[in-house]
């Protein structure tokens, strides 16, 4: 089975640009309703994923005390500054379903790229599990 049939295309997926400020990224993540979101660069290449926790720990690290937390400091950092490269690996569009399942064990979605590392969408863990449940 080709994973393209499960692909949610980039057009339908929330994602961040790596040059967005932390504030912009956090606002977009909040509007998306997700706890993690893919990040791409200016040439649409997949860079990684950032999560709510990545934002939280970075905001806490850039404020001296919990009493003095301000969003003003988030305007000087970019999403690129907090991304953990390699934490969530992308797969190529020609990946088989078994490899996709292995990748989805530890994440809610799997980013999908083409042969130039351009982000083309995601496959959700729900869709992968549904495929294997219906296969039996």
Q: Tens of pLDDT along 112-126?
A: 999 999 999 999 999
Query: Per the structure block, which two tokens stand in for 48?
Result: 């990684």
Q: Please state, in angstroms and rounded to a whole number, the distance separating the CA atoms of residues 101 and 12.
A: 22
Q: Convert the pLDDT of each residue in 74-99 to its tens digit.
A: 677 899 988 876 678 899 999 988 88
- Output the average pLDDT for the chain: 87
Tell me: pLDDT of 1 over 70: no
Question: Could you say which DSSP state residue 47 is in?
Answer: E
pLDDT at 69: 58
Q: Please state, in angstroms and rounded to a whole number, the distance separating the CA atoms of residues 67 and 31.
A: 26
pLDDT at 37: 94
Tell me: pLDDT of 14 over 80: yes
Percent of the chain with pLDDT over 70: 88
pLDDT at 111: 95
Bigger pLDDT: 37 vs 66: 37
**107 pLDDT tier (thresholds 50, 70, 90):** confident
- The answer to whether the CB of 37 falls within 8 A of the CB of 50 is yes
Q: Convert the pLDDT of each residue in 42-65 to its tens digit.
A: 999 999 999 998 988 887 776 665
């Amino acid at each position: 089975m080709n994973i393209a049939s499960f692909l949610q295309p980039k057009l339908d997926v929330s994602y961040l640009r790596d040059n967005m400020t932390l504030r912009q990224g956090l606002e977009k993540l909040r509007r998306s309703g997700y706890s993690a979101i893919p990040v791409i660069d200016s040439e649409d290449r997949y860079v990684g994923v950032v999560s709510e926790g990545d934002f939280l720990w970075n905001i806490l690290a850039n404020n001296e005390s919990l009493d003095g937390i301000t969003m003003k400091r988030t305007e000087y950092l970019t999403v690129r500054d907090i991304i953990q490269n390699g934490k969530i690996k992308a797969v190529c569009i020609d990946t088989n379903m078994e490899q996709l399942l292995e990748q989805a064990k530890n994440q809610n979605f799997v980013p999908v790229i083409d042969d130039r590392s351009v982000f083309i969408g995601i496959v959700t863990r729900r869709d992968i599990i549904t495929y294997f449940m219906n296969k039996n």
